[in-house]
A and B are shown apart, each in its own frame.
Chain A
Amino acid sequence: MGTYILRRLLGMIPMLFAITVFVFLMMHAAPGNAIESMLNPRIKDMAALQAQLIHQNGLDKPLPVQYVDWLGNFIRGDWGYSFAQGVPVRQLVLPALGNTLILAALAEVFILLIGVPLGIWQARRPYSLFDTSTSIVNIILFSIPYYIIAIFLIYFLAIKLHVFPSQNAVGTGPQAGSIVDHLYHALLPALSIALASSAVYSRYTRGSMLDVSRRDFTRTARAKGLTEGVVFRKHVFRNGMIPIVTQLGFDIGSLAGGAVILEGLFAYQGMGYITLQAATQRDYNVIMATSLIIAIGVLLGNLIADILYAVVDPRIRYQ
């Protein structure tokens, strides 16, 4: 397994390289950049300032040279400077990444805690009143965009009932910035993501469990006289979790990129907002950094899913 993980990690390098080259070329293919968009008429000689900044940032060099420069600096820990925000990229991106990871982790916990048990419960009593009614609720939740759910959660839980904060990644006062404070502020946005996503998980879980419970090996286990609990734990559950693990891997990757609309609604300082802002402002250094981080998130998510396959299904062994 260790060799497999190492091989997969090494295999990510060319993929990341290809992704960064693609993003780099795409961004530079779009007209304009953050420096050329500076339009402060009070600056007496804007053209000279722009030319100076373009030269200083190496934007007048050939594209391949710019890319190699960026890559070399990035590897050395110099992520460059945000032209549009006027701060070093690390200072901009790392706090946002931290907030996004907290939100993503909490959202995944909610998704798994709500979706998987619900799906199992539905699968154990298929076509019962409970199964039908919760399936209807699931379909309704899945049909509503998560930002609409977020608006209702903000209105009822934050504005009307004052139960949760509706804005920001941290609060005020002595506890501001503590892990508890972070989690407290991530609760509503995480719940907004989780309600819709857990519906998907419960459907996957239900379907997978039902499928496995009708397989020959499950019938054999029952025929051997094993109790229903043992059959479920040892045969149905572990085999039924394989599609869930696949979905989890995808989710980890996609959540690393943040949720643009949600972050806007909750004024949550995450990766989605800064990535969108950087893309509209042609803020190359920020886009490159966020793209790379998101790509790493997606690839790691897939790797985690592959590792979890082996955990849930002992038949799977990687060489």
Chain B
Amino acid sequence: MRMMKRTTLSTIALAASVAVVLTGCGNDTSSTNNAGGSNSAVDSGTPVDGGTLTMADTTKWEDMFIPYLNNASPTFAMWELSFEPLMSYDKSLNIKPNLAQSWSYSNGNKTLDIKLDPNAKWSDGKPITSDDVLLFMNFIGSKVYNTTDQGEYGYLVQPVVGSEKIASGAAQSFANTGGFKKISNTEFQINFSKADAAVLAADVSSYIPLPAHVLGKIPFSQWMNSDFNKKPTVVSSAYIPTQVNGQSSVEYDENDNYFKGKPHISHIVLKYVSEDVLPSLIENGQVDMNIEGNNLDTDSFLKMEKDPNLKTIAQPAMSYGFVGMKVNEPKFQNVQLRQAMEYAIDKQAIIQGVYKGLGKPAYGPIPYFDWAAATSADGMNTYAYNPTKAKQLLEQAGYTIPSGQKWRIDPKTGKPLVFHLVYSSGSPEVQAICTAVAQNLQAVGLNVQLETPLDFNVMLKKIETNDSSLDMFFLANGIGTDPDPRGSWMSTDPGNLDSWKDPKNDALIDDTFGAKAFNQTYRKQAFVKWQLYVNQQVPMLFLYDRDDTWAYSAKVHIPADSWIPGGYTNIQDWWISQ
């Protein structure tokens, strides 16, 4: 079920103080429980069929079921229960077969041959075929999707031959552009304009076959307002929506024809609830669990860990927090300064103080759980908190403190250095993190001034326009299911907010998706080399890889292998004690 998520730059979700008020009102019997630990979920026993699972989403979705038609992430949670991607992922984000049973490259890695699971069926019993994949590709690449519908996911088919013609409306089907070739009902080929090792996991894995025998009869221009979009009658995943109650809730029934087996849980209710009330609703049993992407506030989570009626689990999130720097500015160009800053920040204390230990210090652009992550064994410097070392580096580089002064000077200009750190308004957690970062850097003599928090859009505009009122900024960076750094790390990438322009970095990234990178071992090494370079250059201050948190009713049984970074999978294997 789990598939590609939007990778975004964002601030941390607001942690409303009223949540504390509500959870503070809960009953106190939890103190007798010893479940404890950040992963208290232990599931055993024989699965039984039946029951209703009520899941809560704290962000409002749009009731649009056609995958990717709505760009908002909360909407994904709604249709992910009903539509299945070609491939899925394991705990290390390695790609796994799903609807696609196997695949292989040919034609100099420019052709991908995919075989579908012959047992895969739509909920109406009809087989899922190559035509269903083609329909998805034609829609997601179409002019209607990319203009009228203002879809954001047209990039999924951009590497395919003929995507420009499809996008402009000059062609209607990849089957006519040479981008798609149907071999049989369960086998097809996708032809790419050039060989790119990232395309499989970053793009193709997220293709979601759409029922050609139902939607194929409706023009793309009518999909947005179609009945199918409001409540699909045919689905490929575990649950069929039976009732859509506006944006308040969606009710689902099990899909008897699900190719991974009939789900144990008969019904699912997905409800939109207030994040302030969610902890109380879970404690009270009115909601069974929070869905992925809807973290519980840390205090509530820690309290729920002790509740005998609940199970809790913390899983690594698909994002990391960092302090960006305008590294193209003269004041940041000395690498020793940037390294000293990384040493000066007590990341563990920040994680402990703000997230109560639910996370790990970060020191590179690929999180520790990813198959491509480089570790200290590979030569990564963890930049463990060491203010003495930070001061030494600064002194060596000439960032001295003049006698009788408090702050260090710029060795190039001889003038006092001042750094302006900004962050977006609305989150006490972000404020606490930035305050700690500023204090840590001030403690080694760097005059970091914490500026008034800004509206997120305003801050972003200031970063993008290289506004002189800021030098450093706090953001959280979402990661994709493929570690492909393009989009945020190449010199010309719009997501490269640090404006780090480094030809060597670009060359190292090129090597992660070039011809040799189709060999997974080679690709891993290419990623390691890139991470070592980033780790040494410190173009941003990596702070933490935090955890996402879930709490769910003790009557719900979720096998351990269902949990993956950022979420869960295999919902058909879950069951509820009667």
Interface residues of A in 74-111 (CB under 8 A from B): 81, 83-88, 91-92, 95
- Residue B502 lies at the interface, judged by CB distance under 8 Å to chain A: no
Q: Which of B60, B69, B224, B458 contacts A273 (CB 8 A)?
A: B60
Contacts A46-B494, A155-B280 hold; do A87 and B158 have CB atoms under 8 A apart?
no
Interface residues of A in 26-64 (CB under 8 A from B): 30-33, 36-47, 49-50, 52-53, 56
In the bound complex, what is the Cα–Cα distance between A266 and B69 (angstroms)? Answer: 28
In the bound complex, what is the Cα–Cα distance between A88 and B248 (angstroms)? Answer: 19
> Which of A13-21, A168-176, A209-217, A311-319 makes up part of the contact surface?
A168-176
Cross-chain contact A32 with B458 (CB below 8 angstroms): yes
- Residue B451 lies at the interface, judged by CB distance under 8 Å to chain A: no
Contacts A167-B272, A170-B248 hold; do A41 and B62 have CB atoms under 8 A apart?
no
Cross-chain contact A37 with B60 (CB below 8 angstroms): no
Cross-chain contact A95 with B274 (CB below 8 angstroms): no
Interface residues of B in 1-22 (CB under 8 A from A): 6-10, 16, 18, 21-22
- Residue A205 lies at the interface, judged by CB distance under 8 Å to chain B: no
Cross-chain contact B273 with A86 (CB below 8 angstroms): no
Q: Which of B71, B456, B462, B477 contacts A86 (CB 8 A)?
A: B71
Contacts of A218 in B (CB 8 A): none
Contacts of A52 in B (CB 8 A): 146-147
- Residue B353 lies at the interface, judged by CB distance under 8 Å to chain A: no
In the bound complex, what is the Cα–Cα distance between A38 and B10 (angstroms)? Answer: 10
Q: How many residues of A contact B (CB 8 A)?
A: 56
Contacts of A167 in B (CB 8 A): 248, 271-274, 277, 281
- Residue B334 lies at the interface, judged by CB distance under 8 Å to chain A: no
In the bound complex, what is the Cα–Cα distance between A273 and B248 (angstroms)? Answer: 14
Cross-chain contact B495 with A46 (CB below 8 angstroms): yes
Q: Which of B9, B245, B480 contacts A171 (CB 8 A)?
A: B245
> Shortest beta-carbon distance, A265 to chain B, in Å?
5
- Residue A68 lies at the interface, judged by CB distance under 8 Å to chain B: no
| Total CB contacts across the A-B interface at under 8 A | 175
Cross-chain contact B158 with A41 (CB below 8 angstroms): no
Cross-chain contact A281 with B457 (CB below 8 angstroms): yes
Q: Which of A45, A84, A86, A176 contacts B249 (CB 8 A)?
A: A176
Cross-chain contact A95 with B456 (CB below 8 angstroms): no
Cross-chain contact A36 with B72 (CB below 8 angstroms): no
Cross-chain contact B158 with A44 (CB below 8 angstroms): yes
Contacts of A37 in B (CB 8 A): 456-457, 460
Cross-chain contact A36 with B461 (CB below 8 angstroms): yes
B272 nearest in chain A by CB position: A267
- Residue B266 lies at the interface, judged by CB distance under 8 Å to chain A: no
Interface residues of A in 226-265 (CB under 8 A from B): 264-265
Cross-chain contact B152 with A41 (CB below 8 angstroms): no
> Shortest beta-carbon distance, B530 to chain A, in Å?
16
Cross-chain contact A43 with B155 (CB below 8 angstroms): yes
> Shortest beta-carbon distance, A296 to chain B, in Å?
23
Q: Interface centre among A36, A44, A81, by most B CB within 10 Å? A: A44
Cross-chain contact B245 with A53 (CB below 8 angstroms): no
Contacts of A91 in B (CB 8 A): 62
In the bound complex, what is the Cα–Cα distance between A46 and B488 (angstroms)? Answer: 11
Contacts A41-B9, A41-B493, A41-B495 hold; do A32 and B273 have CB atoms under 8 A apart?
no
Contacts of A147 in B (CB 8 A): 18
B275 nearest in chain A by CB position: A264
- Residue A269 lies at the interface, judged by CB distance under 8 Å to chain B: yes
Contacts of A269 in B (CB 8 A): 60, 246-248, 272
Contacts A95-B246, A172-B243 hold; do A85 and B70 have CB atoms under 8 A apart?
yes
In the bound complex, what is the Cα–Cα distance between A81 and B151 (angstroms)? Answer: 12
> Shortest beta-carbon distance, B540 to chain A, in Å?
14
Q: Which of B146, B224, B276, B487 contacts A41 (CB 8 A)?
A: B487
In the bound complex, what is the Cα–Cα distance between A95 and B230 (angstroms)? Answer: 14
A-B contact pairs, 14 of them (CB 8 A): A36-B461, A39-B10, A39-B460, A41-B478, A46-B495, A86-B64, A86-B69, A86-B72, A86-B149, A86-B152, A154-B280, A159-B277, A171-B249, A267-B248
B residues whose Cβ falls under 8 Å from a Cβ of A = 6-10, 16, 18, 21-22, 25, 58, 60, 62, 64, 69-72, 146-147, 149-152, 154-155, 158, 202, 224, 243, 245-249, 251, 269, 271-274, 276-277, 280-281, 284, 286, 455-458, 460-462, 464, 477-478, 480, 486-488, 493-495
Nearest 3 CB-CB pairings of A with B: A41-B487, A32-B457, A168-B248
Given A43-B155, A168-B245, A170-B246, 12 new contacts (CB under 8 A):
A37-B457, A41-B480, A46-B487, A46-B495, A85-B62, A87-B70, A166-B281, A167-B248, A167-B274, A169-B246, A269-B248, A280-B456
